[in-house]
Amino acid sequence: MKALIQRVSQAQVKVNNQIVGNISDGILAFIGVEKNDCQENAERLLQKIVNYRIFTDAQGKMNLSLLDIQAELLLVSQFTLVANTQKGLRPSFSSAGNPELSENLYNYLITQAKKLGIKVQTGIFAADMQVSLSNEGPVTFNLQS
């Protein structure tokens, strides 16, 4: 599994011009599932997301995690994260998980995040979504489990 995480001061997801997910200070995480992923991958990725130290401490250093500051989390499925872009000018999605696996692991990730007591918002799996955000820093990291 892969995640592209961004530290945001606000982020929202719309589907059909309706807001379906909205957070203030926190992390926007785009999630991609590969065909060999399992629940263990989702758990490891979630631990990285919520414990990754990308928020600044009193000295201005990135030393605090989402859990440390009790920030919000917006999870958005994005299969294009697992594209192979090494050859040619068209991405290959041969490593992407099938829709059933991907949706199951995305939903599992959401459930596990909520069990941690995190305020979680989401997009809608496989929907045509419009995502807007204010990236703070900018701070963006590519994580993999």
Q: Which of 39, 70, 80, 140 is catalytic?
A: 80
Is residue 80 part of the annotated active site? The answer reads: yes
Query: What structural domains and CATH numbers belong to the chain?
Result: 2-136 (3.50.80.10)
Is residue 122 part of the annotated active site? The answer reads: no
Is residue 79 part of the annotated active site? The answer reads: yes
Q: Which of 12, 78, 121, 122 is catalytic?
A: 78
- Angstrom distance (rounded) from CA 21 to CA 2: 20
93-121 confidence digits (pLDDT tens): 999 999 999 999 999 999 999 999 999 99
- Angstrom distance (rounded) from CA 47 to CA 99: 24
Q: Which of 30, 79, 121, 122 is catalytic?
A: 79
Is the pTM here over 0.95, yes or no?
yes
CA 33 to chain centroid, in Å, comes to 11
25-78 confidence digits (pLDDT tens): 999 999 999 999 999 999 999 999 999 999 999 999 999 999 999 999 999 999
